[in-house]
Chain A
Amino acid sequence: MSRIYLSEAQKQRIFHQLEQAYPEEAAGFLLGHMVEGYIAGADVVIDEVVPVDNVSDAGKKRRHFVIKPQDWMRLEDQADASGLRLIGCYHSHPDAPATPSAFDREHSYPDFLYIIVAVKKGRATDMRSYELGREGSHKHITAVVSDEAWQEIMSWDHVQ
């Protein structure tokens, strides 16, 4: 993918959840679909932002997030049943830049979108999107936050 489209409300939902969890890390899933015939076939639009629990050990939540496998299964079932894709996840970096850590890359999967949000002193200050490679590389994905573009794309036929 080279570009993702979100609405302002989706971005604000992500920011609100991550700010509420500060100083701990928090996370969620992104359900979406491909934007066929718009810019490039690989562009995606986010249909749903779904907060999930960080089930990392209590003492590690300031620097780690872990999502339950059962949450993955529930959301993947929901996505497949509704013609969407479980397209990625998001998480916060409390008081740290929105860039992938070695720990992020170590846990990364291919063909999956990772949104990272810097939360500085309780306020979300920066949001960046990546595809990550375990060998240490990462590709920046442009996130377009625009209600106008998002609403136009959402009015088109879905291509999973």
Chain B
Amino acid sequence: MASIRIPTPLRAFTHGKDRVEVVGSTVGEALSNLVERHPDLRAHLFNDADLRSFVNIFLGDEDIRFLQGLDTEIASGDSLRIVPSIAGGLG
């Protein structure tokens, strides 16, 4: 099993948990397992099947966009982290 760390604004959708254990051999499978167990998270993480552009997923210290994206392989014991892109302004 791998784990996914949940950022503060999304912990309301994981019953307050800051870390969720998941199954899967890739980042995409792990995230799918996460949203199967916490369906209300889906809208905050995905646009259809794609990761939202305002959501970063880190494997250790690496942004998965600089690895193999959702196809990045993970092993039991790996730690994933959801990191919100905080941005805004006048636009």
A73 at interface, CB cutoff 8 A? yes
A112 contacts B44, CB within 8 Å?
no
> Contacting A103 at CB < 8 Å: which of B9, B58, B90?
B90
Interface pair B89/A109, CB less than 8 Å apart: no
* Residues of A with C-beta under 8 A to B91: 63-64, 101-104, 106
Q: Which of A80, A102, A112, A114 has its CB near the most chain B CB atoms (within 10 A)?
A: A112
Judging by beta carbons under 8 Å apart, are B18 and A80 in contact? yes
The answer to whether B83 touches A66 (Cβ under 8 A) is: no
The 8 A CB mask of A32-66 against B (1 = contact, 0 = none) is 00000000000000000000000010000011111
How many Å lie between the Cα of A87 and that of B9 in the bound state? 8
For B12, list chain A residues within 8 Å (CB).
110-111
Specify which of B18, B58, B81, B88 is in contact with A114 (CB 8 Å cutoff).
B88
Docked-complex contact A67 and B86, CB < 8 angstroms: yes
| Given A109-B44, A112-B8, A65-B87 contact (CB < 8 Å) | yes
Contacts of B58 in A (CB 8 A): 69, 73
Chain B, 22-56, contact with A by CB distance < 8 Å: what is the 0/1 string?
Answer: 00000000000000000000001000000000101
Asked whether any CB of chain B lies closer than 8 Å to the CB of A86, the reply is yes
Q: What are 10 A-B residue pairs whose CB atoms fall within 8 Å in the complex?
A: A25-B90, A64-B88, A65-B88, A67-B85, A69-B83, A101-B91, A103-B89, A107-B85, A112-B9, A114-B88
| Interface residue ranges, B against A (CB under 8 Å) | 7-12, 18, 44, 54, 56, 58, 63, 81, 83-91
Given A66-B87, A93-B89, output 16 extra A-B contacts at Cβ < 8 Å.
A63-B89, A66-B85, A66-B86, A69-B85, A72-B86, A79-B8, A91-B88, A93-B90, A96-B90, A103-B88, A104-B88, A109-B44, A110-B9, A111-B9, A111-B11, A112-B8
